[in-house]
Structure 1
């Protein structure tokens, strides 16, 4: 005898039953344990939301602690907190996501949970001071799900299976609908010229036979979606489609059996088939938009060749330990970062940074994960474990960006959820109006047209498809948006604030004129400069080294970030750096010295000064012109002296600039702009500008893909080019414009089509065509983002 489990709802043999009080029956100890945990935690509502859906039987929990310990290697840092990406097996519907979120947020230290129902990927951010990763894993197991290490390739087989299933359903729908159309032509011809009742009955029955598999097989996807919508009290497109088709189907059977009125089996088949094909094309459109992240994930399917005791051993990237020796041969891609130990190779980094020329790597050279070996062979030492590699960070950033929703999408989703309920209400009143004014047959047809023609699907697709297309396009243009919401934020920016050194200039300083007081040793100045790694200190040190300077012993050396350095040398106090820093340390100035970038003082006396030159990046002027033509105000902030900053600003045609600014002053300037209601884009180096970058609406760090750029940027320029920044602005503005076009189209479509349907001017057949066309229009308009920037 078969029983049904009270937790997972699966059927099982009575002999294996575990019975509990209250007549509850469980198929295993795991399901019994999960049921008790959920009810003790006040999460019994889950079973109401689950309805008749089934779950996978729960794990027994015997080995949960051992399994949980294996997940610690998946944890990465997210600022001050920790993050783990998981694939959660067993998610079947929105009730599962509801339960997982409720369960996880019940743990102390959980800050953010993002779960994608399609990919089953979960990204969890938590505070490691309050919570261990083992506790997160145990909680997921406890509520009946199985967490696994996330890998995009794990979903590939499911996607292929789903696509084949869609092909089969589409084939049945198209075949049956085409044949119904031929039968309908004969039936409609008889409507005008006359037709015998037995022939009409035969045609109606044939259409009924053909329409039935279309509704219940091809339309099964809509039934599933509608069931979930009803269970969660959240009407959606599937509910509208299947409600309209089912009402028409039932009415047509009634008309056929009673010979009263006309049957509309052709409309049933066409509604389901047209909308299903539209849904299938949406899937293909989304697949096209996601090609970039799939391309990146495919890189990780390869294995790494590790040298152990003189033998080549193939390992998964995640299994390679710090310090292991990796062999990289021609045609292979480096999957971990490291330093070359031996050999020489020419590598291509164009797929990640846009650098067109091959780079020659030899002993001591830095290997960045993602580069492809063109020729030669090197052995390099793994400098990072895989989860901290540059390539893995890029892939995680892009995949996480697809999980996060922009503000406009969150607002639209709220409207779409209420829209469906409004449409059903309108259809209800339309039916009764037509029923009392005209006839039952006309009331049914008109109400069905109202239900079918409305398109919350197009409204819901307006933002996400555009965002996903734009994420892929931006990455191919060497720009990585950390979250889709930054398209909207960057498009709205009306002020662009730039740091000067290293952002608008090359940061390759050269000493022009200089003055050193007689009797002052260049060795002492040289040793002072070595305290700091700032570009100006490095340039002065290099200049003095070429003049034969040597390092001397320093005492009480001190570095003041963005200001200067100080130290005692043979009993004398030396300071070096900016004019302000020296003045703060009691050094007196007799002249304005506006063009000097670096000063040296001894015992309160100015003893040396250096005039440094830094050239503007060739693409900087074009960027300034583009930003101004796009309606953005441009401002330069720099810690450099007034005259130097003014020269750069004049060369770039920028009228507003600030010189001699410290990091906290830059932050106050950004805060002031925000108080004025400005939307601010801040572009800096990510180190001295950290405070200002954190305050801006959008932060972009220059730095050739350095770790600091990945961590602090909202938008990462993979090739460190100002041209890529210009592309980022263009893509953002075009994407935001496309989203607004999609939303405007959806609103106009519904505003115009619904009154026509209510007034009875649209039959269900054309309602289905219009509804599918509106969804496809949104998809095609979004895909234009890909076409527009394809060859840029």
Structure 2
């Protein structure tokens, strides 16, 4: 069973690691992925061993809280409603920052003003008023601590559970600064009470209240900027949601009525005017128009539609007035499934993130240990003031926010950008691994070609053409194969009558048997004719001629001889050749796998410049070809659209389904190309490469930042170069590291797709 949970309280990669670790301890857990960006947990588990409640308890035991995803929503609401999960976070951080600054500004004026020569109130000036100065600073700091109390609540809670996180570092750092300031006030009070002015002078500059307040405020500033940037990462999904109207006009007994889209039922007749967006999926029952489907397919050219044609939710009616019958509503519409796929991809974890996860699990405890060692060392070597400053700097510079955000923000922007281009990545793993594939295997029909073959030539043997076509169409009427449909379509175009074949039998990958007008006929490829011991000598040259011209020969025979051969041709898509050329330039080995005869396949392969052609391949053997490449150490991507492609799609490292293909093929695939254009595979590979490059940049920055920052904060370069880090500067640097990571990920929105 698979279940998604919303987790609250997570702030960094250490939180993420703690939740995952806590859940994975349960017996029966197959997989648990925590996404810091969306604050979600996706668990695959054995529901006979554990329940949702057990998982919720495990999250709680880790120091966080969780609910089942969607549990707090109105059951009537659709996942097409625009829900900006970051809006509340932006508002909350904005208020925390605003009120923190309200107290921080006067605090900084009082604490730092004398050094800048700024005028001060008389009751705060001079050594005799030093106690007043300390108390005023403390009173201005306390509200900042209260406003940002969540750092202390979460931080100490996880610390006591022995799973410290970013909040723990901030709580210890700012808390230590505040406690030391209070300690300084007591020492000054003692000195004044006993007339020990040396003691008063010693602690005159030891108020760390401004550091405590500044650290919290700067962290909140960084979190506020981070929340704003994170909100932009969901723009792609929100823009898709925006395309579905909230209201629709339906027709009931000839009367028009406006209702909420959520109230539409299957079978309702919906009226769409020019310029309106279509609310649900359906079939046109009256009128004709042109539909802009660019929101779903990325294709800018409007598509002409008429009666019995499908229309999709979130597409735009450009010209005509029409009516359609609702066939799919709510979460079953195409747009809803696209959004669901994108959101599901964001909850999965790319393999590259595992390295960061392993480090996150031990990072914070190590930082706390370094901070303690730093405090002890500088306390012995110099003084307590130096020690506390260095220790606090280590804590606040080390917060692993950037580490936890490095991967999920790039994945979210990358999958969102892909969705806008008509490329659906069903998991973060598929987004990462696509650009690493070595071999791309392409199914022919519907992938390289349009999948709409047509009859080009007919050769007959002692039979009249109309009679032959009638027999052929009768045999092929009940077959779903594209070549069979082409023959039936040809008979319809010629107004040739045909019947249902009796005793119809399909031989997968070879042909069919059937009884027409009391006589048994067989149709299929050359292999089938040879197996049935039917003489093919008279038509060998004809079949070769067809194949050499790129036509697929289909044999028809009675129980004695071949009665005719039909040559069919499936037109190659306009973009296929260019796409294959571009794929080869990207360093991929591009091959075609088809059930077509060898000569026809070679003719097509030569035209397209393919590296290798596998012809006359039975459906079950496509998966074997994938496996052979894998045994050679190659990573394989298989592209197909049919039911017979499903095993190969599932076997390959990356299965890619053409969007116009069957539901089974799409279900088996890792990536879906909605436009059914091979050229989008080029863009998918380039987007995969750009996203992983972006993640590596983010991880490098996160690691480099901590690798450089911690030694400086610990004072390693202080003795030699006099270089040390003020805790306030450390807090500012830490905050902006997260903002940098998110902003860098947003650059993926500038990815330019080739056309």
TM-score range (shorter-chain normalised) is 0.7 to 0.9
Partner of 2:328: 384
Partner SS state of residue 779, structure 1: helix
Partner of 1:213: 143
* Shift in Å, 1:359: 3.4
The answer as to whether partners of 2:141 and 2:213 remain within 8 angstroms in 1 is yes
Q: After the TM superposition, which residues 500-515 of structure 1 pair with which residues of structure 2 at under 5 Å, given as runs? A: 500-515=444-459
- Equivalent of 1:686 in 635, 642, 650: 642
Partner of 1:538: 485
| Distance verdict in 2 for CA 1:207–1:582, change over 3 Å | farther
Q: CA RMSD in A?
A: 3.8
Partner of 2:231: 287
* Shift in Å, 1:154: 7.8
- Equivalent of 1:229 in 147, 155, 158: 158
Deviations 1:392-440 (A, max 9, x none): 2222222222222223334423321321111111111221122222221
The answer as to whether partners of 2:447 and 2:677 remain within 8 angstroms in 1 is no
Count, aligned residues = 695
* Shift in Å, 1:171: 1.7
- Equivalent of 1:332 in 242, 252, 276: 276
Partner of 1:244: 173
Separation (CA, whole Å) in 2 of partners of 1:584 and 1:624: 36
Separation (CA, whole Å) in 2 of partners of 1:767 and 1:757: 8
The answer as to whether partners of 1:454 and 1:754 remain within 8 angstroms in 2 is yes
* Shift in Å, 1:302: 0.9
Partner of 2:611: 655
- Equivalent of 1:586 in 514, 522, 533: 533
The answer as to whether partners of 1:271 and 1:765 remain within 8 angstroms in 2 is yes
Deviations 1:492-513 (A, max 9, x none): 2222111122211223334344
Partner SS state of residue 266, structure 2: coil
The normalised TM-score by structure 1 is 0.79
| Distance verdict in 2 for CA 1:359–1:653, change over 3 Å | closer
Q: After the TM superposition, which residues 94-133 of structure 1 pair with which residues of structure 2 at under 5 Å, given as runs? A: none
- Equivalent of 1:492 in 429, 436, 445: 436
Partner SS state of residue 447, structure 2: coil
Partner SS state of residue 502, structure 1: helix
Q: Which runs of 5+ in 1 are unaligned?
A: 1-80
Separation (CA, whole Å) in 2 of partners of 1:152 and 1:320: 15
Deviations 1:751-775 (A, max 9, x none): 2222222225222122222222322
Q: After the TM superposition, which residues 4-43 of structure 1 pair with which residues of structure 2 at under 5 Å, given as runs? A: none
The normalised TM-score by structure 2 is 0.82
* Shift in Å, 1:466: 0.6
Do residues 765 (structure 1) and 728 (structure 2) align? yes
Q: Bigger CA drift: 348-357 or 303-312?
A: 303-312
Deviations 1:514-544 (A, max 9, x none): 3211136412123223232322223334445
* Shift in Å, 1:723: 2.6
Partner of 1:255: 184
Partner of 1:524: 471
| Distance verdict in 2 for CA 1:328–1:546, change over 3 Å | closer
Do residues 168 (structure 1) and 112 (structure 2) align? no
Larger relative contact order (Cα-Cα within 8 Å, sequence gap ≥ 6): 2
| Distance verdict in 2 for CA 1:386–1:586, change over 3 Å | farther
- Equivalent of 1:403 in 328, 341, 347: 347
* Shift in Å, 1:137: 11
* Shift in Å, 1:289: 0.6
Q: After the TM superposition, which residues 590-605 of structure 1 pair with which residues of structure 2 at under 5 Å, given as runs? A: 590=537, 591=540, 593-594=543-544, 595=547, 596-603=552-559, 605=561
Partner SS state of residue 383, structure 1: strand
Partner SS state of residue 644, structure 2: coil
Partner of 2:60: none
Q: After the TM superposition, which residues 468-479 of structure 1 pair with which residues of structure 2 at under 5 Å, given as runs? A: 468-479=412-423
| Distance verdict in 2 for CA 1:720–1:495, change over 3 Å | same
- Equivalent of 2:264 in 301, 308, 320: 320
| Distance verdict in 2 for CA 1:576–1:127, change over 3 Å | farther
The answer as to whether partners of 1:514 and 1:609 remain within 8 angstroms in 2 is yes
Partner SS state of residue 503, structure 1: helix
The answer as to whether partners of 1:531 and 1:559 remain within 8 angstroms in 2 is no
Partner SS state of residue 448, structure 2: coil
Q: After the TM superposition, which residues 56-95 of structure 1 pair with which residues of structure 2 at under 5 Å, given as runs? A: none
Deviations 1:329-350 (A, max 9, x none): 3343323222222234443222
Partner of 1:268: 212
Q: Which runs of 5+ in 2 are unaligned?
A: 58-65, 118-124, 188-199, 719-723
Q: Bigger CA drift: 227-236 or 619-628?
A: 227-236
| Distance verdict in 2 for CA 1:676–1:174, change over 3 Å | farther
The answer as to whether partners of 1:229 and 1:236 remain within 8 angstroms in 2 is yes
The answer as to whether partners of 2:658 and 2:666 remain within 8 angstroms in 1 is no
Deviations 1:235-278 (A, max 9, x none): 22121122111111211232244243422333223322222111
* Shift in Å, 1:549: 3.5
| Distance verdict in 2 for CA 1:552–1:336, change over 3 Å | same
| Distance verdict in 2 for CA 1:213–1:491, change over 3 Å | farther
Separation (CA, whole Å) in 1 of partners of 2:739 and 2:530: 67
Partner of 1:12: none
Separation (CA, whole Å) in 1 of partners of 2:535 and 2:72: 66
Separation (CA, whole Å) in 2 of partners of 1:565 and 1:781: 58
* Shift in Å, 1:644: 1.9
Partner of 1:421: 365
The answer as to whether partners of 1:703 and 1:709 remain within 8 angstroms in 2 is no
Partner SS state of residue 419, structure 1: helix
- Equivalent of 2:505 in 558, 578, 600: 558
Deviations 1:87-112 (A, max 9, x none): 98x977899x989x989x99x9x988
